[in-house]
Amino acid sequence: MPLHNTMNQTTVNCNTFRTEGVMFPIPIFSKKEVLSHKAEFELMEKAFNGKLPYAGNLHFSLLWAYELSTHPKILDFITPILGDDISVVGTLMLTKYPKTDNYVSWHQDGMNSKWDQNNSLTAWLALTNSNAGNGCMQVIPKSHENLLQEHVYFTDQKNMIRKGHRIATNVNEEEALDLELRSGEMSIHHNSIIHGSKPNASLQKRIGFIIRYINTKYVNPGTSVIYAKGNTKYDHLNKIDKPDAFGLKHSPEAYKDFLTQNIVIK
């Protein structure tokens, strides 16, 4: 493809993201490539007797999660939006098992992190097909324009968000857009977009690998990050190095101990 066409497509992508607050579907991995990442998750799941709906902060201690969240195919796509210095500040896997009640309340990511809203984004990578039937993510397009809104905190075991918060006002669900993805595809969403997801009413499991990216310059001081891209040295951050591979991941007992100590499980 001639260079000027590529540049035009990149500009279109950036403009879509800025105006809509979301972009999808973005093809990233082939079905075969996805299988290897899925197999890594299945080893984790096995360590927890086959059920691991919530697993967070994987990138600091699991080599495969580090490599996935710093994968050049993803970084190439987000670099025109975030710039050349990119850090990973969070990873999360939300898995919805068939016919289960777990959902994600309507919220804005920026509420948690208070990151600079325009220089950070979330990538949602599908490790299975994700659709309206199995509880794909939904967004309210353009809702990022109003930046951060008031949230309320509540307790509901079925809500997959750990802190249990939701937008204080009513969300008009008729405006919701289903971010349907095939396995290997990705969506990206703005830190201020209102989003959530419904339970999995189907017989198909839904697995999402979620990565929070930010231009490194805008990371809050003292934060632990991995540098995904760029050579600028920042003194205000706690840079975490690439983890070693955990040698005992094929032993469910040993892997469970390791995961319990090193990642966040709900």
Indicate which single residue of 21, 110, 184, 208 sits in contact with ligand AKG (rule: CB under 6 A).
208
* 10-49 positions binding ligand AKG, by CB under 6 A: none
Indicate which single residue of 23, 28, 62, 94 sits in contact with ligand AKG (rule: CB under 6 A).
94
Give the per-residue contact string, 48-87, with ligand AKG (x = CB under 6 A; - = no). ----------------------------------------
The separation between CA 177 and the C-alpha centre of its own chain, rounded to angstroms, equals 17
Q: What residue number has its CB nearest to ligand AKG? A: 197
Cβ closest to ligand AKG, residue 200 vs residue 215: 200
Cβ closest to ligand AKG, residue 26 vs residue 258: 26
Under the binding rule (CB under 6 A), the answer on residue 104 touching ligand AKG is yes
Taking each helix axis from N to C end, the angle separating 252-262 and 31-47, rounded to the nearest 10 degrees, works out to 90
* Nearest by Cα to 131 from 233, 28, 207, 52: 207
Token readout for 105 is: 């309340």
Give the per-residue contact string, 107-136, with ligand AKG (x = CB under 6 A; - = no). --x------------x-x------------
188/151 Cα distance (integer angstroms)? 22
Indicate which single residue of 22, 68, 210, 228 sits in contact with ligand AKG (rule: CB under 6 A).
210
Q: What is the radius of gyration, based on Cα positions, of the chain? A: 18
Q: Can you say whether residue 49 is alpha, beta or left, with left for phi > 0 and alpha for psi between -120 and 50 degrees?
A: left
Cβ closest to ligand AKG, residue 124 vs residue 258: 124
- Number of residues binding to ligand AKG, judged by CB under 6 A: 10
> Least distance to ligand AKG from the beta carbon of 102, Å?
9
Under the binding rule (CB under 6 A), the answer on residue 195 touching ligand AKG is yes
DSSP string, 167-190: ESSPP-GGG-EE--B-TTEEEEEE
113/171 Cα distance (integer angstroms)? 21
Peptide bond into 25 cis (omega under 30): yes
Reduced to 3 states, what is the DSSP secondary structure of residue 122? strand
Cβ closest to ligand AKG, residue 185 vs residue 258: 185
**Beta carbons of 225 and 88 less than 8 angstroms apart:** yes
Residue ranges in contact with ligand AKG by CB under 6 A: 94, 104, 109, 122, 124, 137, 195, 197, 208, 210
